[in-house]
Chains A and B, each alone.
Chain A
Amino acid sequence: MSLTISRAFVDAIVEQSRAEYPDECCGVILGPVGSGKAERLKPMVNAAHSPTFYEFDPKDLLALYREVDDRDEEIVVIYHSHTETEAYPSRTDIAYAGEPGAHYVLVSSRKEIAPAIEFRSYRIIDGVVTEEEVSITD
């Protein structure tokens, strides 16, 4: 199991995490249904506006799923940033992970590792976290 993602998307997610610091940022990458390909980046608003929590606004969430259905897409990646901790799913990330088919991407821009950025990907299924390789294409 691994995630293949373009350099441009990695850079855009890192940029978004810096722009929204100290709040967590979040979003999705969509792809054609059944393809598993991360093709369309869609940053989302963190309705919690919090450094320790993120949540898609319920209205945005419904609109997202409608859009994905209309375009015959699926949610390939769900990403968010951790601003003070490592890029590993927190207890709440695990408890609320509701898309067993998605790659959960965590990006950490915590100060201790600056200017480096951690960018890691996981499957979260029934409370079990499995890290996977990330291969970045140019």
Chain B
Amino acid sequence: MSIEVRIPTILRPFTKDQKAVAAVGTSLTALISDLDAQYPGIGDRLLENGALRRFINIYINDEDVRFLGGLDAQIKDGDSVTILPAVAGG
């Protein structure tokens, strides 16, 4: 099972400039772990102390994973995952 993951500009240096990559995993934790195995370092940009970073948004299809159980969110064949940095500041 392979999931399409859309990568934001700021993380493309990790993915050799690819806008979308394929990863496997039935939960968000597993998916991020696979992404980090393929593109070392990207996991650190998504997680902090084992939790999702506050200013990184991850969506499964159209839903923010925060409403799907966060890192425990389930992913199934045919889903697509989108990573976007928050647009925020002070």
Contact = CB atoms under 8 A, between A and B. Distances in A.
Interface in A72-94: 78, 80, 89-93
B90 A92 contact: yes
B41 to A, nearest CB: 14
B86 A56 contact: yes
A98 to B, nearest CB: 3
B1 interface: no
B88 A56 contact: yes
Contacts of B57: 58, 61-62
Interface in B32-90: 55, 57, 59, 62, 64, 66, 82, 84-90
Interface in A56-71: 56, 58-59, 61-62, 65
A131 interface: no
Nearest to A53: B90
A90 B89 contact: yes
B90 A98 contact: no
Given A61-B84, A62-B59, 13 more contacts: A56-B86, A58-B66, A61-B57, A61-B87, A90-B89, A91-B90, A96-B55, A96-B88, A98-B10, A98-B86, A98-B87, A99-B10, A99-B85
Interface of B: 8-10, 55, 57, 59, 62, 64, 66, 82, 84-90
